[in-house]
Amino acid sequence: MKLRLLKFDTINPELYLQKKIEGNKSNVEKMNRAELLEWIISLRSNFSDFYTYNLRQNGWEAEEFFITDTYLEKTAEELYGSKLGIINTKDRIKDLVRPIKGRRKMNIISDYIKQYKPDVILVREQTGIPSDIWRDSSKLSLIVSRLAAPLPYRWAPSDWDLILTSTEIYRSFFEINNVKSIINHNGFDTRILDELKNNGKKYDVTFVGGLGKRFWIKRTALIESVSEMDNFKWWGYNGDEFPRDHSLHKSWQGITSGLEMLQIYRDSKIVLNDYGEIANGEGVNQRIFEVMGVGSLLLTRETENLKKNYPDNIFVTFSDTEDCKRKINYYLQNVKEREEIAERGQKYIIENYNYLDLMKDLGDTLRSSYFNKFEPELQNKI
């Protein structure tokens, strides 16, 4: 039996997608929903179609749904056709009588779910929608969340049948709340290698990610110190919040995402990595897999789980800021050693964390969970 999965996701940072849409405004306006979906996927932001494409390779029907205004509008045009104007008017009147934040968005999503008829709904990370909304589909679908970020506003573990996460601290937390949770590893999609250019290593040291005092206190302190080095550049959130004469502002290159970000990684001799405070000391984020996957040297903060779970010769770790700077200088000077480590890292990630294999494992778990929920007597037959 081929199951159908509908995955809801966002593009982060949203500003990156908005700028891309604005820069391709005339083309985007001509696109229908399916064409816009493929265009967004082609940007390779966040998890792109890494889940759904590889689930399809493993025998599923699977589709992405990006919760962003432009895609929602295209979906509404397809769903409602000539009735769209009337439906919009009714929603505005309802909001005047009894305002509900996001009413239109949630109505479009609900109607698309009814049309697609998914067996599994997978909501990845923060979508800005209260988790109890998804319970409306629980009678017909397995409701699954993937979360490895701070718990979203109005989001409860009990609203889900299964929660996927990449950190042990979160898995334990969800199970304490009596919700089944499994580790769903980050990975790398090898299609990316055919989409990147071979520009050579034009950047010495780079970092891509968010900075600030809310979730990234240690990381911000590290990058601030490294930004005083002449050969460092970074892209990401909040760079314009630092004073113009600050080294973090001077080394900031703007925001980036997707294939453009992956190209920066490939073009870098060394890519820095550090973690947010939510991981409780676990070294887990998508950047690890992306940097090694494209074949560049990963320089990351040392953690116990990295020592425990990975070979010690596929990336380089640092203990503190001064150690980080020493190793930057060392590996910039020792090219052969640097590239050998990067090559081993890429080989290891492709062999052990490629999305085709990861989605086979996840697909088996989702299929088993679906039949356990709806047809337990068939569980032994699949």
Q: What is the pTM of this model?
A: 0.92
- 142-151 exposure pattern, b = at least 16 Cβ within 10 A, e = fewer: bbbbbbbbee
Span 85-110, pLDDT tens digits: 888 888 788 877 777 777 889 999 99
More confident residue, 83 or 268: 268
Give the distance from CA 13 to its chain's centroid.
10
pLDDT tens figures, 196-221: 999 999 999 999 998 887 678 889 99
Closest C-alpha among 212, 259, 288 to residue 46? 259
Domains along the chain with CATH numbers: 4-187+355-381 (3.40.50), 191-352 (3.40.50.2000)
Do the strands 162-165 and 268-273 form a parallel or antiparallel pair, or are they unpaired? unpaired
- How far is CA 111 from each of CA 10, 29, 72, 108, rounded to the nearest angstrom? 19, 23, 11, 5
- Low-confidence winner among 83-92, 252-261, 330-339 (lowest mean pLDDT): 83-92
